Structure 1
Amino acid sequence: MPDQRTISTIVFDVNETLLDITTLEPLFERLFGDRQILREWFPELILYSQAMTLSGLYTPFGELAGGVLRMVGANRGITVEEHDIAELKTLIGSMPAYPDVIPALTALRAAGFMLVTLTNSARSPSPTPLEKAGIDTFFDHHFSIDDVGRFKPDPAPYKMVAEQLKVNTSEMCMVACHLWDTIGAQSVGCQGAFISRPHNNVLNAPGVPKPDFVSDELSQLANQIITT
């Protein structure tokens, strides 16, 4: 059972937690003849974003995304062209929300929580991906790691959110489908809420922090948080 620390602020990851990255699959089908290569590209993208932060370096997430796509292509003897990168960026900026997102956000807003987002992606001009997905108005603030130049799960992005909102990290709960994200948040005192999207599960190993809340449906996860 989660402890009884008071949560005032729910911080949502965006890509794959709120927005459905499976809508990128047709691009990978066209390029590689296999839509499941998405599941090779995305973990590599996360790996290299974290490698950059660990090395004290920074490149915007969108630029890394294109570079990693070229790298995956080179590994398979396929040349990824500029128009392929442009299509990837367009698709990333137009991903729809999962069906369980609006009911969960509605319930959390009604329960009085402040809702914000924290994404590895750079800030984008309007219409933003969340505006296109029809869920932007549920949130009080949007945060990007661009402001600190360090990718999650580095402590800096989570601390930045707490500082800018003038709340303690103990009042924040990070909602994500990536366990590395909840681990990062928990390492600075936040609670962690894990939503198990496809190809994402909890890691059970000694020393790995367990999320305070776990569900495979976002409305159920929201209800767990509300009733704690």
Structure 2
Amino acid sequence: MTRRRPAVVAFDVNETLLDLAPVRAALVANGQPESLLRTVFARTLLTGFAATVVGSWCSFRDAFEAALAQESPLSAEERADVLDGFAELAPHPDVAPALRRLTEAGVRVVTLSHGSPGVAEAGLQRGGITPLVEATMTSEAIRAWKPAREVYLWAAGRCGVAPDRLALVAAHGWDVLGAQRAGLTGAWFPRSERVYPSVYEAPHVQAGDLAGAVEGLLALPA
């Protein structure tokens, strides 16, 4: 199927748009190595994915705290301090130019996360780019985690477009795969991952950075 230039581009939030540096800093402040974040984040995703697959659900915050308890000796109070770091996230430097490029080209911009409500909004405001984003969506509203098909179809419905007119940009291969399997256009670039997982179908758009991913979407036929 030939992909078309999207009418709306949805962006994943954690790592794709927002830098998790404040969470790493909170880990270090509580005596843990900053490298622990990668392990905890992976276990958080495993917890949420498993809950969705079996028809259960948990919030991102609860899954992250559970992962911290499994992977570290931190007390409940210390875990809460680390979790509070999510309220301090800010966009990566390349985010504002990428979002502005889309809006100036007449493409609507939204965010799509399974993270805690308010995280995307606070980060976008901290970066001064709230006016570039039409809507922030978290699948907590439907009690499911990406990459469940229902999340992407729900997002398309919220945006009022057919799935093939919605694109997802993410630095996570599993997220791009989920979007593409739901009929969206997927765009991947390296940030949290060095390479796209070779066991997945290729992304519709793949670039070396966020700007390249955006240009790849804009280059698709109208």
Task: Tell me, yes or no, whether TM beats 0.5.
Answer: yes
Q: Secondary structure at the match of 1:143?
A: strand
Contact map agreement 1:23 1:91 (CA 8 A) in 2: yes
Q: Return the match for 1:213 from 195, 205, 208.
A: 205
1:99 is matched by which residue type in structure 2?
P
> 1:1-228 residue pairs with structure 2 within 5 A?
3-31=2-30, 33-73=32-72, 78=73, 80-124=74-118, 128-205=122-199, 208-228=200-220
Contact map agreement 1:178 1:200 (CA 8 A) in 2: no
May I ask how many residue pairs the two structures share in their alignment? 220
Q: TM-score, normalised by structure 1?
A: 0.89
Gaps of 5+ in 2: none
1:88 is matched by which residue type in structure 2?
V
User: Residues 126, 198 of structure 1: CA spacing in aligned structure 2 closer, same or farther, 3 A cutoff?
Assistant: closer
User: Residues 59, 99 of structure 1: CA spacing in aligned structure 2 closer, same or farther, 3 A cutoff?
Assistant: same
The two structures, once aligned, show a CA RMSD in angstroms of: 1.9
Deviation at 1:101, TM superposition (A): 0.5
Query: What percent of counterpart residues are identical?
Result: 25
Contact map agreement 1:192 1:211 (CA 8 A) in 2: yes
**CA distance, structure 2, for counterparts of residue 21 and residue 200 of structure 1:** 17
Deviation at 1:189, TM superposition (A): 0.6
**CA distance, structure 2, for counterparts of residue 159 and residue 127 of structure 1:** 22
User: Residues 163, 198 of structure 1: CA spacing in aligned structure 2 closer, same or farther, 3 A cutoff?
Assistant: closer
Deviation at 1:126, TM superposition (A): 10
Q: TM-score, normalised by structure 2?
A: 0.92
